[in-house]
Amino acid sequence: MTPITIAIVLLLLAICSLLYLRHWTVANHRRLPPGPRALPIIGNLHILGNFPHRTLCSLSKTYGPIMSIHLGKVLAIVVSSPEVAKQFLKTHDTTFAGRPRLQAADYFSYGRKSMGFSDYGPYWRGMRKLCAVELLSSTKIESFAGMRKEEVELAVQSLKEAAAAGEVVDVSAKGNALIESMTYRTVLGRSAKDDRFKLKHVIQEAFELVGAFNLSDYVPCIKALDLQGINRRSKAIFQVMDKILDTILDEHMKNVSDNHENQKDFVDVNADGLNENYNEEEL
């Protein structure tokens, strides 16, 4: 490492320490559940180990059914009792209906605009209403019954052909392929075998990045360093995904403007919403 790099790292560590001390001072003035003592900057990350669920179970025996734990700068409350969990997840569910702020998810949710990563509020409720009424209603689901029947028949036929030829069949792979094909046709209105769009690999990579442990999510002051390369990879995969989705949306918008009477898939429904000029709370 060059002297300049070392100086930058030391400066960042100093800044992190100051931010942590400020955060720690504020935290000490709050009434928090008991929990293990946290270290500067990393909090309790060092004690989680390779099996965090086992560690948390062990800690709950010491600190009780409600305990606090510091994941870097992120304060988390761990609940290990069914009775207390009911209070969090049912009785006071809207109070605790927030979403984690993940660096990779910011890319793939277009700045926390997806229903899975947006905070609870008017926008999220509008998204849920749109899905419930336009996408997941019993009428809409029933409209795809013919497609599902067709895909299942094709899958069964392929199994019969494999059996007749005496081939070994990976049933799990066949099941995954069936679900993938039905999902493609329901959401995009096209077969999963459409070679123009290689979404499967992109989506798998996106899920891996969102689910990966990213130190920057817990120690924000080192985000700029991108020590694990997750930000760089997320940006690259997002650009590929965004280009594919733009192409798909443009095609569907053209179909809507041409008044095609084909069965509408999920993208068509959203395209209709764009043409009807819904505001943010409605769409």
Residue 283 located in a structural domain: no
In the numeric block, the tokens 């099941």 are attached to 175
Instruction: Tell me, yes or no, whether 167 and 259 share the same domain.
Output: yes
Residue 244 located in a structural domain: yes
The pLDDT of residue 272: 67
| Residues contacting 1, CB < 8 A, separation 6+ | 9
Tens digits of per-residue pLDDT, 20-73? 666 555 555 568 899 999 888 889 999 998 899 999 999 999 999 999 999 998
Tell me which residue range forms the domain holding 9. 3-96
Instruction: Tell me, yes or no, whether 90 and 171 share the same domain.
Output: no
In the numeric block, the tokens 């100086």 are attached to 7
Q: Is a pLDDT exceeding 70 seen at residue 282?
A: no
| Residues contacting 218, CB < 8 A, separation 6+ | 42, 43, 45, 71, 72, 73, 74
The pLDDT of residue 264: 73
Residue 16 located in a structural domain: yes
Average pLDDT over residues 173-181: 88
Quote the number of domains for the chain.
2
Instruction: Tell me, yes or no, whether 90 and 127 share the same domain.
Output: no
Averaged pLDDT of the chain: 83
Evaluate whether 157 touches 195 at the Cβ level (below 8 Å).
no
Q: Is a pLDDT exceeding 90 seen at residue 115?
A: no
Residue 109 located in a structural domain: no
Residue 115 located in a structural domain: no
